[in-house]
Amino acid sequence: MAFNNLSRRAFIKAMLASLALSACGAPKSGQEGALEKLSTSLAGGPTPTPTLAPTPTSLPSADGVAQAYLQAWQRGDFAATYRLLSPSSRRQLGSRQFAAAYQNAARQSTAINIQAQLQSLLAEGPQATATFHSQWQTALFDALEADHVMRLRFEEGRWGIDWQPTLILPQLGHGVTLTLLEDRPERGEILDVQRQILASNEPVITVGVVPALIPASDRPELIEQLAPIVGVNASEIEEKITTSPPNWFVPLGDIDFDTSVAYLDLLAAMPGVERRPHPLRVYPQAETGAHLVGTLGGIPAAQAEAYYAQGYNGDELVGLTGVEGWGEAFLAGKRGGKLLTISPKGETLAELASAQPVPGGNISLSIDTELQQRAELILGARRGAIVVMEPTGFVKAMASYPRFNPNDFAAGIDAETWSQLLDNEDRPLVNRAAQGAYPPASLFKIVSMAAAMEKLGWSPEREFYCSGTWDGLGENFPKKCWLETGHGRINLKDGLTQSCDVVFYEVGLALHREDPLLLPEMARAFGFGRPTGIQGIDETGGVVPDNEWKMEALGEAFFDGDAVNMAIGQGYLLATPLQVSQMMAVVSNAGLLYRPQIVQQLSSRNSGDQFFRPEQVNQVPVSPESWDIIQDALFGVAHGRRGTAREAFAGIEYVVIGKTGTAETIIDAPHAWFAGYSPADPPEIVIVVMLENAGEGSKEAAPLFRLMLESYFDWLGKGG
């Protein structure tokens, strides 16, 4: 014990000395108390373990949940927003009903973008209240802005939103709906160059009822009387009335003006029945120019969101093809309307926004209806196309057969008519002038000759020998000329006039071996291999093959044989009659390439008129001397002693600069071509005729070209 007491005293002294030295002076506040406690502890035994007093556990913050909800709403992620609802709200509201409430509000308001910003949040125990501000950018109205209150609760171990419709808009209480009362402007007209109507509107009468105004005792008889008038089954009328708000107008069906007059007294005597006029699209020229004017149809599902963003409601008929499709936004104008809140009883509670409609504008085309009718009459019932175009690009007529009647689409095409059009193997919906791609055959020799003179430096007098057979690719790969007996000795210029294949086999092979891109690049300079860029017409770009194209399309290289075929307009080369028209216009203009056009004027009540002018898009790299040679060679086609079309143009009073073409096909008769312009100087009109599987160009297409040319000058008042 004495040892222990001594040791304790010695330890205390040592500790006191150590603390004094480390302090370097007087002890700091609290040190004396610490020493006393240490001394007491050492003297009195072990210190008891302290006991912690109970304190409340704080809840996690609700800010993150509120912020996440608003961000998910902005993204349109309704699955994420629904997961953030409180368990109580989720038990009362299904996920589909929840998403539909937001989607309907966005649809009715024509919302394009919604931004929401959290402003404050106050939590008191398991309850929290947040405020936020929303801004709705819409297609029809000025920006909508609102201040909201959001309530949250801590339930089942997490924060969740107690959902109310006011989180969408403050004006939306339970049972209150958001409704867009549309004011749709009348669609603009499509006119020809003489202001003749190609597409317009005429009124039809929508017959409907206001259910609340129909006495219950009269309802069965009234429905039976209405059914045959509107052409709707009585049971369908009953269902529409039963499922609609009682104070709303319920449309039942459309009738024309004459039918409305015939049943005027009967309809006027029916309680609750109303007649409301609205416009129906009409095409007074019927099939004439149908591919150009285009069609209406329902909004395609794949484009629905884009249309909604422009203020469409989803049930409209919109332009889908031709000028109707190209000019949809201009023709349709801009919808107006009122954004209303409606009570469960169908009463208007408030007007949240309004906008005046902007009327649709008119589109005038360069097409002349009479000339278009002449072109279609000359084409007749032959599968093919005729293009009549000014050298600077404005199209005067564009005929394609077979055709269709756009009036069939005006009120929504019926299933039977649509099926007949789709199943027709002659494809009447295809505009062969701009959507049909064919081998241009010997017409392309114009391009090949230009490339030979400009890129190889060949003289037009360069001589060749044609025996009717050519073995330039080797004896195992002989190729024939269209003239089996051969042309004998013939130069490059006469080779174009007489369309000698052997001459152009040599051209194609020489160009390819000099540089495989020489001929493809010249073809593209003439406008082949890409869409022409014509506005208002649906078109395809055709094909200009080269090594890159063939490797991508077929997985093999572009060989000498491919180049030889291309030089005579065969092989993989494809072009539309419109592209061939552009090529002939280049020849007539000595190298100036103009973009084809059909839209000539836009007329808006608000912004006035916009006129379209000729648009040069390229200068083909061919010298003036070479153009003179090419034009002279093409003069010989129609007027020369050995021209391929001399018989078709015998005795014609107009000068024709043109070229025949006979495009070989694998499984059927060849396509017949003739393309040219007249007169020679200055050129006034370019015409292209293409007949599918009709035979030789000189015998089938050239005579139709002559008829079209003579009809054109007769139309101008220049006929003999």
Instruction: Give the pLDDT score at 175.
Output: 87
Two tokens, residue 19: 């603390």
SS3 of residue 485 by DSSP: coil
Two tokens, residue 219: 């309802």
Q: Could you tell me the sign of the dihedral formed by the alpha carbons of 691, 692, 694, 698, in that order?
A: positive
Residue 134 predicted with pLDDT over 70: yes
pLDDT in tens, 313-333: 777 889 999 999 999 999 999
Average of per-residue pLDDT across 297-324: 87
Average of per-residue pLDDT across 266-273: 91
Q: Could you tell me the sign of the dihedral formed by the alpha carbons of 296, 297, 303, 308, in that order?
A: positive
pLDDT in tens, 446-466: 999 999 999 999 999 999 999
Cis peptide before 60 (omega within 30 of 0): no
Contact 705, 687 (CB under 8 A): yes
Judged by average pLDDT, the poorest of 173-182, 521-530, 623-632 is 173-182
Instruction: Give the pLDDT score at 7.
Output: 41
Angle at 427 between CA 424 and CA 430, to 5 degrees: 155
Contacts of 288 (CB under 8 A, 6+ apart): 369, 372, 373, 376
Contact 658, 676 (CB under 8 A): yes
Position 304: which residue type?
A: A
SS3 of residue 102 by DSSP: helix
Contact 442, 576 (CB under 8 A): no
- pLDDT bin (cut points 50, 70, 90) of residue 637 is very high
Q: Facing residues of 208 across strands? A: 251, 274
Position 90: which residue type?
A: R
Judged by average pLDDT, the poorest of 65-69, 204-208, 436-440 is 204-208
Give the Å distances, CA to CA, from 104 to 96, 108, 336, 693: 12, 6, 18, 54
Average of per-residue pLDDT across 572-577: 98
pLDDT in tens, 662-672: 999 988 899 99
Residue 58 predicted with pLDDT over 90: no
Element (H, E) at 200: strand 197-209
Q: Could you tell me the sign of the dihedral formed by the alpha carbons of 696, 700, 701, 703, in that order?
A: positive
Instruction: Give the pLDDT score at 248.
Output: 82
Give the Å distances, CA to CA, from 125 to 58, 60, 61, 192: 9, 10, 11, 74
According to the CATH classification, is domain 441-715 in 3.40.710.10?
yes
Average of per-residue pLDDT across 686-704: 97
Q: What share of the chain is helix, strand, coil (3-state, %, to 5)?
A: 35, 25, 40
CATH second-level architecture of 63-173? Roll (3.10)
Residue in this structure with the two tokens 């000339």, named with its chain if needed = 371
Residue 46 predicted with pLDDT over 70: no
For residue 300, how many C-alpha atoms fall within 13 Å in the half-sphere facing its CB?
8
Segments of the chain assigned to CATH 3.10.450.100: 63-173
Instruction: Give the pLDDT score at 256.
Output: 84
Q: How many residues does the chain have?
A: 720
Contact 267, 274 (CB under 8 A): no
SS3 of residue 124 by DSSP: strand
**pTM of the predicted model as reported, rounded to 2 decimal places:** 0.80
Instruction: Give the pLDDT score at 276.
Output: 84
Contacts of 694 (CB under 8 A, 6+ apart): 382, 384, 669, 670, 671, 672, 700, 701
Closest CA to 276 of 205, 222, 375: 205
- pLDDT bin (cut points 50, 70, 90) of residue 689 is very high
Segments of the chain assigned to CATH 3.40.710.10: 441-715
Residue in this structure with the two tokens 């297609």, named with its chain if needed = 139
pLDDT in tens, 496-515: 999 999 999 999 999 999 99
Closest CA to 110 of 384, 354, 402, 311: 311
Instruction: Give the pLDDT score at 21.
Output: 36
pLDDT in tens, 143-152: 999 999 999 9
Contacts of 493 (CB under 8 A, 6+ apart): 460, 461, 629, 632, 633
**Within a 10 A sphere around the Cβ of 567, how many other Cβ atoms?**
29
Going by DSSP bridges, is the β-strand pair 190-191/362-365 parallel, antiparallel, or unpaired? parallel
Closest CA to 375 of 333, 351, 403: 403
Residue 431 predicted with pLDDT over 60: yes
E-assigned strand segments in 221-270? 250-255
Give the Å distances, CA to CA, from 212 to 249, 473, 645: 10, 87, 77
Element (H, E) at 274: strand 273-282
- pLDDT bin (cut points 50, 70, 90) of residue 15 is very low
Maximum distance among all alpha carbons in the chain?
151
Q: Which residue has the higher pLDDT, 712 or 19?
A: 712
Residue in this structure with the two tokens 């009036």, named with its chain if needed = 407
Backbone dihedral region for residue 711 (phi beyond 0: left; psi -120 to 50: alpha; all else: beta): alpha
Contact 130, 152 (CB under 8 A): yes
Distance CA 65, CA 153 (A): 11
Give the Å distances, CA to CA, from 460 to 481, 513, 644: 20, 20, 19
Contact 19, 35 (CB under 8 A): yes
Rounded to the nearest integer, the mean pLDDT of the chain is: 90
SS3 of residue 408 by DSSP: helix
Distance CA 497, CA 522 (A): 20
Element (H, E) at 349: strand 348-355
Residue 30 predicted with pLDDT over 90: no
- pLDDT bin (cut points 50, 70, 90) of residue 4 is very low
Two tokens, residue 341: 């809140």
- pLDDT bin (cut points 50, 70, 90) of residue 44 is very low
Backbone dihedral region for residue 468 (phi beyond 0: left; psi -120 to 50: alpha; all else: beta): left
The angle that helices 219-230 and 234-242 make with each other, rounded to 10 degrees, is 120
Give the Å distances, CA to CA, from 115 to 80, 99, 109, 426, 460: 16, 17, 14, 52, 71
Position 552: which residue type?
A: E
Judged by average pLDDT, the poorest of 57-61, 113-117, 630-634 is 57-61
- pLDDT bin (cut points 50, 70, 90) of residue 273 is very high
Distance CA 189, CA 284 (A): 12
Q: Classify residue 665 by its DSSP letter.
A: -
Residue in this structure with the two tokens 């040599």, named with its chain if needed = 506
Two tokens, residue 400: 């394609």
Residue in this structure with the two tokens 């649509």, named with its chain if needed = 418
Two tokens, residue 460: 């037009």
